[in-house]
Amino acid sequence: MPGQQHEVTFRFLAQPTDVNFGGKVHGGMAMKWIDQAGYACAVAWSGAYCVTVSVSGIQFVAPILIGDLVTVRARLIHTGTSSMHLAVDVLASDLRKNEQRLATSCVMVFVALDAPDGKPTPVPHWEPRDDGERKLQAHARRLQELSREMERLVDVQADEGPQNSG
């Protein structure tokens, strides 16, 4: 039922096929997991097909090793008319030591569509329940404004064309 589930968590073991030549999970694999968890959360909240609009501030904080228990948590932090902003964290745990570390984090924006090739469709409104969620929502709104500002700057530069330096 739309508007009920605002958080999704995936758990699995990092496998040998997930790693780069340095023996650590490569960033592209972490980004795939982030997109999958984000999509699942957006669809669970909206009850509609969703597409990724943006991924902001992705940070690779600590490596993920083969055999680590990986937890990917996506949670809703802001809704617009048809958009959903999600905070996504990737945590890695060495099960032998019972130590968990933040490996990757970012903010994603998804838009709900009325069909896979359709138009944006409204999503249920989400309200933060505590101070932590209110801070995350404020962060999402700041990122939204920065994104709009970046679009304006890119449009201005595209309109001006290449600059002559001499």
Per-residue pLDDT of the chain (166 residues; tens, 9 = 90+): 888 999 999 999 999 999 998 889 999 999 999 999 999 999 999 999 999 999 998 999 999 999 999 999 999 999 999 999 999 999 999 999 988 999 999 999 999 999 999 999 999 999 999 999 999 999 999 988 888 888 888 877 767 766 555 5
Which value, to the nearest 10 degrees, does the dihedral of the CA atoms of residues 110, 116, 121, 124 take? -60
What integer pLDDT is reported at residue 153 of this predicted model?
Answer: 85
pLDDT of res. 161:
66
Closest CA to 78 of 149, 134, 4: 134
Question: Which ranges constitute the DSSP H helices of 14-102?
Answer: 27-46
